[in-house]
């Protein structure tokens, strides 16, 4: 069972997102185009490499949430 935590215990822990979405990759995040249809994107955590077909797809980008980033 989950333990109830009051709202006051969570104050000040909000995360500000400066990208269009939390998990997806978007064209506005592209830093540089690489070869073979790959791009270098930047989010709040850092830079990561992904493929062009993942941009603005509306789906989660597994390269963005991966622990092996650049």
pLDDT at residue 68 tops 90: no
Residue 36 domain-assigned (yes or no):
yes
DSSP class of 37: T
How many angstroms separate the Cα of 25 from the Cα of each of 7, 39, 41, 58?
31, 10, 8, 8
Q: Which residue segment(s) compose the domain that 59 sits in?
A: 24-70
For the whole model, what pTM was predicted? 0.73
pLDDT at residue 9 tops 60: no
Higher pLDDT among residues 8 and 60, named by residue: 60
Higher pLDDT among residues 3 and 59, named by residue: 59
Helix (H, G, I), strand (E, B) or coil at 13: coil
Residue 40 domain-assigned (yes or no):
yes
Number of domains in the chain: 1
By C-alpha distance, which of 67, 69, 29, 65 is closest to 49? 69
Q: Is residue 16 exposed (0-12), middle (13-18) or buried (19+ Cβ within 10 Å)? A: exposed
- Over residues 22-63, the pLDDT tens digits come to 899 999 999 999 999 999 999 988 999 999 999 999 999 999
């Amino acid at each position: 069972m989950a333990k109830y935590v009051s709202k006051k215990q969570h104050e000040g822990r909000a995360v500000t997102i400066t990208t269009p979405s939390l998990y997806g990759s978007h064209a506005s995040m592209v830093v540089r185009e690489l070869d073979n249809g790959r791009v270098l994107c930047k989010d709040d955590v850092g830079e990561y490499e992904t493929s062009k077909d993942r941009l603005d797809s509306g789906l989660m980008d597994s390269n963005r949430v991966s622990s092996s980033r650049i």
